[in-house]
Amino acid sequence: MRRPGNPADFGVGSATFFRWRWLAAVALAGLLAGCSLPSLEGRSQSKALPAAEARDTRLGRAVGVVTAQHPGLTGIHSLEDPREAFAARVQLAQHAERTLDVQYYIWRNDTTGHLLLEALHSAADRGVRVRLLLDDHGHAGLDEELASLDAHPNVEVRLFNPFLFRPFKPLGFLTDFSRANRRMHNKSLTADSVITIVGGRNVGDEYFGATDGVLFADLDVLAMGPAVEQVSSAFDAYWASASAYPIASLVTPPSAEALTAFRHRTALVERSEFAASYKQAVRDLPFYESLIRKDYSLVWAPAHLLVDDPSKGLALAEPEQLLLHHMTEAVGVPMRTLDLVSPYFVPTDAGTDYFVGLAVRGVRVRILTNSLAATDVLAVHSGYARHRQRLLAAGVVLYELKPDPTDRVVKAAPREDSRRMPGSSGSSGSSLHAKTFGVDTERVFVGSFNFDPRSARLNTELGLIIDSPELAAAMAQVFEVRVPRSSWEVRLDPESGALRWVDGIRQPLSVEPMSSWWQRAAVRLLELLPIDWML
């Protein structure tokens, strides 16, 4: 019996069948190339909650009491634990009274993704205005759910740099590569314009420790104080940008049956045993009560938002409008130490010159990135590997994360942009995902920025520079104690100059640990290709 869809059903051989499929895809791409995005004329306009109104909310009054004791400073609470990071987001949605401004690159169609969508929906039912801005590359399978949410009178959903052909978005890379290759990588959630969460986490089970396999122990910070106004202003700029399209102009409005099905699916998720532990985490987090009691654990420090201008999404930003330009100003020149964590570390020749220059001047530079065994994108590893010997020769200290460390500094993640080159897939084990650095044990950066050309030139990014010796010292301590236990240190053999991988337990290894010959061969081949600008 023939299976439906077998090429023989059409009276053609398999080679002919798949050739016609390819030609049909190319023809469809050609047709789509002649299409254009919908007009933004008539798009609604809105702004973040004005400061006076924000102060008059329940959250605003609670925050006002504690911030008054630290004028000009931003209160920072690190969200390292994935359950706490999830619960904090839900609690902000639960306690918001006027507005929720939410911006993410990835929003998974899974348990925590649905629970957070329902938290936004419940807030809207209470009268909270919800603005949800998502990159259109990171929410596969959620068009119907998002359109249903958008149908709520208090919710508006917009998509950044959207794809016209919804059933198969990758066609957009064929028809409009220059725009489609630029994604909004920002992550923030702001309640009543007085409290925000920013950092590296997207929304999905992996990011909140809800899976049985791959986990990301990422890093976010919850912030209150002057930096929140900057996050709100940045959200307004992205919301009103030429790249933000109302989902209603791209996706068919949901029918009554679709709305009913959406509520039914949400109810099933909420009743699941899997979801119960996350609901309990929300109940167990004493965030709001601690804020009222004024005993919530906060580090008070000057903090400043670094963010790309949204015009970067259309390749229209000037150099002085980019995060990287402002990062140079905010960080200054490290004088003593630079500790950097980057999952996709592709320094390029220019970046290598920078790190080498620091090391030559006596600055201790320590970098933690993925090992070949841990990375999920071999092309990215190739963009890093070609620079290792030069970095090490200058005195830079390189650590490469083991795929399944027992003392987990960070947990695993697939490459967020998921645009893997053919044959570039790497390990399915643990891989680094946090994005942070510390300078001179005086200040730290926490955000979405990867030290790679994609973050620098293509994707939009944001993060906080925090002038806190306390947080910077804590990061230095991680490099002193936890990183060496969870990673291989890469060194140069003093006699041959070849690379060696050392973990303090076994004899140094002369090949990349826990990697296969084909992975190593693929990396060497990819090193020959001029692809750094895409990584």
Question: Which helix or strand (DSSP H or E) is residue 302 part of?
Answer: none
Summarize the confidence of residues 23-37 as an average pLDDT: 57
State whether 144 and 213 are in the same domain: yes
Q: Write down the pLDDT at residue 335.
A: 95
The band of 416, judged by pLDDT with boundaries at 50, 70 and 90, is low
On whether residue 29 sits in a domain, the answer given is no
Q: Write down the pLDDT at residue 429.
A: 40
Q: Write down the pLDDT at residue 26.
A: 53
On whether residue 393 sits in a domain, the answer given is yes
In the chain, the percentage of residues whose pLDDT exceeds 90 is: 60
pLDDT tens for each residue of 433-444: 678 899 999 999
State whether 389 and 488 are in the same domain: yes
Characterise 251 by phi-psi region: left (phi > 0), alpha (psi -120 to 50), beta (else): beta
Q: Write down the pLDDT at residue 214.
A: 45
State whether 278 and 328 are in the same domain: no
Given a contact cutoff of 8 angstroms between Cβ atoms, the answer to whether 491 and 392 are in contact is yes
The Cα–Cα gap between 78 and 197 comes to 10
On whether residue 177 sits in a domain, the answer given is yes
Q: Which of 433, 452, 503, 532 is catalytic?
A: 433
Question: Which helix or strand (DSSP H or E) is residue 132 part of?
Answer: strand 129-135
State whether 283 and 309 are in the same domain: no
Q: Write down the pLDDT at residue 525.
A: 86
| Residues 6 or more apart whose Cβ sits within 8 Å of residue 430 | 214, 215, 374, 401, 402, 403, 404, 405, 408, 410, 411, 412
What are 365's strand-pairing partners?
338
State whether 277 and 391 are in the same domain: no
433 is annotated as an active-site residue = yes
411 is annotated as an active-site residue = no
Residue reference for tokens 């904090």:
88
The Cα–Cα gap between 461 and 433 comes to 15
| DSSP class per residue in 373-405 | TT-SBHHHHHHHHTTHHHHHHHT-EEEEE-SS-
Q: Which of 143, 192, 205, 503 is catalytic?
A: 192
Report CA 237 to chain centroid distance, whole Å. Answer: 19
Summarize the confidence of residues 186-192 as an average pLDDT: 98
- Say if residue 261's pLDDT is above 90: no
State whether 204 and 245 are in the same domain: yes
Which of 293, 312, 343 is a domain's end point?
A: 293
435 is annotated as an active-site residue = yes
Comparing 469 with 5, which gets the higher pLDDT? 469
Q: Which of 17-31, 207-221, 506-520 has the highest mean pLDDT?
A: 506-520
Q: Write down the pLDDT at residue 12.
A: 40
Summarize the confidence of residues 178-188 as an average pLDDT: 95
Query: Which residue range(s) make up the domain with 213?
Result: 51-293
% helix / strand / coil in the chain, to the nearest 5?
A: 40, 20, 40
On whether residue 34 sits in a domain, the answer given is no
State whether 352 and 257 are in the same domain: no
What does pLDDT average to over the chain? 85
Would you state the structure tokens that stand for residue 314, as one six-digit string? 């259309």
On whether residue 37 sits in a domain, the answer given is no
Comparing 35 with 28, which gets the higher pLDDT? 35
Q: Which of 143, 176, 376, 440 is catalytic?
A: 440
The Cα–Cα gap between 102 and 209 comes to 21
Comparing 495 with 261, which gets the higher pLDDT? 495
On whether residue 467 sits in a domain, the answer given is yes
192 is annotated as an active-site residue = yes
State whether 308 and 214 are in the same domain: no
Contacts 24+ apart (CB under 8 A), 119-126: 119/89, 119/90, 119/93, 119/94, 120/93, 120/149, 120/155, 121/149, 121/152, 121/155, 121/266, 122/93, 122/94, 123/93, 123/94, 123/96, 124/152, 124/153, 124/154, 124/155, 125/152, 125/154, 126/97
The Cα–Cα gap between 108 and 303 comes to 30
Which one-letter amino acid corresponds to residue 348? T
State whether 64 and 95 are in the same domain: yes
Summarize the confidence of residues 452-459 as an average pLDDT: 92
Q: Which of 95, 121, 139, 185 is catalytic?
A: 185
187 is annotated as an active-site residue = yes
State whether 285 and 317 are in the same domain: no
Which of 242, 259, 293 is a domain's end point?
A: 293
The Cα–Cα gap between 129 and 19 comes to 50
Q: How many residues does the chain have?
A: 535
CA 423-427-432 angle, 5° bins: 120
Given a contact cutoff of 8 angstroms between Cβ atoms, the answer to whether 371 and 401 are in contact is yes
On whether residue 452 sits in a domain, the answer given is yes
Q: What is the CATH number of the domain that holds 266?
A: 3.30.870.10
The Cα–Cα gap between 66 and 229 comes to 16
In our burial notation (b when 16+ CB lie closer than 10 A, e otherwise), range 373-388 reads bbbbbbbbbbbbbbbb
Q: Write down the pLDDT at residue 535.
A: 66
Summarize the confidence of residues 37-59 as an average pLDDT: 95
Summarize the confidence of residues 80-87 as an average pLDDT: 90
Comparing 258 with 97, which gets the higher pLDDT? 97
- Say if residue 405's pLDDT is above 50: no
State whether 70 and 137 are in the same domain: yes
Q: Write down the pLDDT at residue 404.
A: 60
The Cα–Cα gap between 364 and 417 comes to 32
Given a contact cutoff of 8 angstroms between Cβ atoms, the answer to whether 162 and 136 are in contact is yes
Given a contact cutoff of 8 angstroms between Cβ atoms, the answer to whether 116 and 217 are in contact is no
Q: Which of 77, 95, 121, 187 is catalytic?
A: 187
Number of independent structural domains in the chain: 2
Would you state the structure tokens that stand for residue 389, as one six-digit string? 């010997």
State whether 409 and 508 are in the same domain: yes
Q: Write down the pLDDT at residue 256.
A: 82
Comparing 489 with 373, which gets the higher pLDDT? 489
The band of 449, judged by pLDDT with boundaries at 50, 70 and 90, is very high
pLDDT tens for each residue of 302-341: 999 999 999 999 999 999 999 988 888 777 789 999 999 9
Which of 265, 293, 321 is a domain's end point?
A: 293
Would you state the structure tokens that stand for residue 179, as one six-digit string? 């725009």
- Say if residue 93's pLDDT is above 90: yes
On whether residue 41 sits in a domain, the answer given is no
Instruction: List helix spans (H) across 207-271.
Output: 226-239, 256-271
Question: Which helix or strand (DSSP H or E) is residue 437 part of?
Answer: strand 436-439
Q: Write down the pLDDT at residue 211.
A: 59
pLDDT tens for each residue of 116-140: 999 999 999 999 999 999 999 999 8
The band of 504, judged by pLDDT with boundaries at 50, 70 and 90, is confident
Would you state the structure tokens that stand for residue 39, as one six-digit string? 């007009």
Would you state the structure tokens that stand for residue 162, as one six-digit string? 């959207």
Q: Write down the pLDDT at residue 305.
A: 97
